[in-house]
Amino acid sequence: MATVKEAVGEQQLWASRFKKETDPIAKAYSESVTIDRLMVDHNVWGNEAHVIMLASKDIIRDEHCREILKSLQQLKADFSEKKWDLSLQEEDVQMNVERYVINGVGIENGGRMHTTRSRNDQVVLDTRLYVRDHLLSVVEQLTSFIQELLELSTLHTETLMPGYTHTQHAQPMTYAYWLTHYAAVFLRDVKRILAAYDVTDLNPLGAGALTGTSFPIDRHLTTRLLGFQAVQDHALDAVGAKDYNLEILSAFSIFFSSLSRLADEIIYGITYEYNTMVLDDGFSMGSSMMPQKKNPGVLELVRGRTGKMYGILMHMLTTMKGLPSGYNRDYHEEKTTLVESLNLTHDSIAVMRGVMRTLVIKPERMKYLVDQNFATATELANYLVRKNDIPFRLCHRIVGYVVGQLVEEGKNFTDKARTKELLAEKNIEISDEDYDKVLTPSSVIYEYTSQGGVAPKEVSRMITQMQKQNAQFIAQMNQDKTRIKTAQQETSRIVNAVLKENKNVKEAIQEVVTNSIR
């Protein structure tokens, strides 16, 4: 009988027709073991589910399945204990694991593991298994961040601050209103990420190279054992379409656009000129020359790395735009882009949560700014419409005239006497009581009771609604986590039943299904 080395040779497992080994330059250029080390456990799980399915359909015998499962268990232990690692010779995790199994239990057993399967569906499978775990982790981080913003908002429904348009004072609002605005944006980001998760959470295994297989495989069984929501039906679509990748990167890019805006607003808020916020020392950086400096370095990096996230998305959009159907080696770029984007998102959320937890605001300074720069001018125009039945456009002109005159004189609405004189020039009389109600920011915010307005009662209502929506997203995330955990446990129980209890595969599967029904 031929030895393993004689049977499969020292070249890569796919090198059957080749007379020459891959050039070292080409091998180094095309390797993916560096990124694949993150996916060893996912690859092993996929292999377990695959060989269990093969044995259940009598495509391989129970004894072959048992030997393969035994070798996979040993591989996990060896990798965890750093006794074995991926090698450049075999290019990627898929071939490294298969080589390990063949070397461990022989070609007669290990050589059957790849039956009905291609690296095309294997690579996609491992990537999806890895990515969906980390997508749920991002959702967990982001929903926790949203909850923190909403809890902070409940403390500040009456804390005045100026609202801006075109970076100029516009109307009075509250700190809670500003915070909940970002909570609302981030809730949509969660929704987009969960939508991308649903597109990702489909089972490509069984697609083969591109057209499926002539063997009687059971793709629904592997779907269950791997905890996917459903089978990705079309085999060519399963190995060749990367829109799930693009959906993830698009969702992350949109999220970063909002995260960068939040960072930018804080950067302005902590300046001496604004002086409405104080950044914690733990999230600040000093200057090598100027000892007085306290720089918002991490916030600037969030802004800068937003560009990196956009670049990752553009990388994949450009990669995909000209590829023909079927698997192309260009697709190996997707693993790098997804891992990099997931890490970038994890780290950036963590930083912004830390910033917001420790950020100090200056309510007196914010109130002073609101009082000084005509933030209630719109409400004065609204008052004139209601009180005098004047068309809004004319009221707009009247108030604009008053503001213009006050600016020229270096005054503002805090000078009640002069403001009333200017209104009188336009035949407008206003009582002191109405003046205080209409032109005092702390009073005005209570009047904006329209749906979505700044009134404390309305903001409190929105906080409650956002908390409910956030709780629904958390419940959905936990449901997905539970399905994955259950699938891992079921696969492990089948593996243990086959290896430790010496049961046949069909019996082990039936036992798991029966216990699940109970």
Written in H, E and C, the secondary structure of 126-162 is: HHHHHHHHHHHHHHHHHHHHHHHHHHHHCCCCCCEEE
Evaluated on CA atoms 259, 264, 270, 276, the torsion sign reads negative
Tokens of 62: 């129970």
Instruction: Verify that 149 and 280 share a domain, yes or no.
Output: yes
Give the residue with greater pLDDT, 90 vs 495. 495
Is residue 432 packed enough to be buried (19+ CB in 10 Å), middle (13-18) or exposed (0-12)? exposed
Residue 279 lies in a domain: yes
Instruction: Verify that 311 and 351 share a domain, yes or no.
Output: yes
φ/ψ region of 275 (left if φ > 0, alpha if ψ in -120 to 50, else beta) reads left
Give the pLDDT score at 9. 60
Give the pLDDT score at 466. 98
In which domain, by residue range, is 15 found?
4-115
Instruction: Verify that 107 and 129 share a domain, yes or no.
Output: no
Give the pLDDT score at 10. 63
| pLDDT tens sequence across 205-262 | 999 999 999 999 999 999 999 999 999 999 999 998 889 999 999 999 999 999 999 9
pTM: 0.92
Q: Residue 16 pLDDT more than 70? A: no
Instruction: Verify that 106 and 137 share a domain, yes or no.
Output: no
Instruction: Verify that 264 and 139 share a domain, yes or no.
Output: yes
Share of the chain above pLDDT 70, in %: 95
Question: Within 10 A of 281 (CB to CB), how many other CB atoms are there?
Answer: 10
Give the pLDDT score at 516. 75
pLDDT confidence of 49, banded at 50, 70, 90? Answer: very high
Domain count, the chain: 3
Q: What is the mean pLDDT of residues 499-512?
A: 93
User: Taking the CA atoms of the chain, what radius of gyration do you get in angstroms?
Assistant: 31
Q: Residue 518 pLDDT more than 70? A: no
The DSSP secondary-structure symbol of 281 reads G
Q: Considering 72, 90, 115, which residue would you say is the last residue of a domain?
A: 115
Residue 485 lies in a domain: no
Instruction: Verify that 65 and 135 share a domain, yes or no.
Output: no
Q: Nearest 5 degrees, angle CA 52-CA 55-CA 59? A: 130
Q: Considering 344, 368, 392, which residue would you say is the last residue of a domain?
A: 368
Q: What is the mean pLDDT of residues 421-443?
A: 95
CATH number, domain with residue 240: 1.20.200.10
CA 32 and chain centroid, separation:
24
Instruction: Verify that 338 and 381 share a domain, yes or no.
Output: no
Residue 162 lies in a domain: yes
CB-CB contact of 117 with 38 (8 Å): no
pLDDT confidence of 7, banded at 50, 70, 90? Answer: low
Give the pLDDT score at 329. 79
| CA-based end-to-end distance of the chain | 48
- The closest of 55, 46, 104 to 75, measured between CA atoms, is 104
Instruction: Verify that 61 and 149 share a domain, yes or no.
Output: no
Give the pLDDT score at 13. 63
* Catalytic residue ranges: 166, 287
491: CB partners within 8 A, 6+ apart = 45, 48, 49, 52, 225, 226
Q: Considering 326, 350, 368, which residue would you say is the last residue of a domain?
A: 368
Residue 451 lies in a domain: no
- Interatomic CA distance for residues 71 and 76, integer angstroms: 9
Q: Residue 19 pLDDT more than 90? A: no
Instruction: Verify that 360 and 384 share a domain, yes or no.
Output: no
| pLDDT tens sequence across 268-327 | 999 999 999 999 999 999 989 999 999 999 999 999 999 999 999 999 999 988 888 888
Residue 389 lies in a domain: yes
pLDDT confidence of 90, banded at 50, 70, 90? Answer: confident
Instruction: Verify that 169 and 47 share a domain, yes or no.
Output: no
pLDDT confidence of 1, banded at 50, 70, 90? Answer: very low
Residue 487 lies in a domain: no
Of 2-16, 207-221, 329-343, 402-416, which range is least confident?
2-16
Instruction: Verify that 309 and 280 share a domain, yes or no.
Output: yes
Share of the chain above pLDDT 90, in %: 87
Q: Residue 427 pLDDT more than 60? A: yes
Instruction: Verify that 49 and 109 share a domain, yes or no.
Output: yes
Question: Within 10 A of 482 (CB to CB), how many other CB atoms are there?
Answer: 11
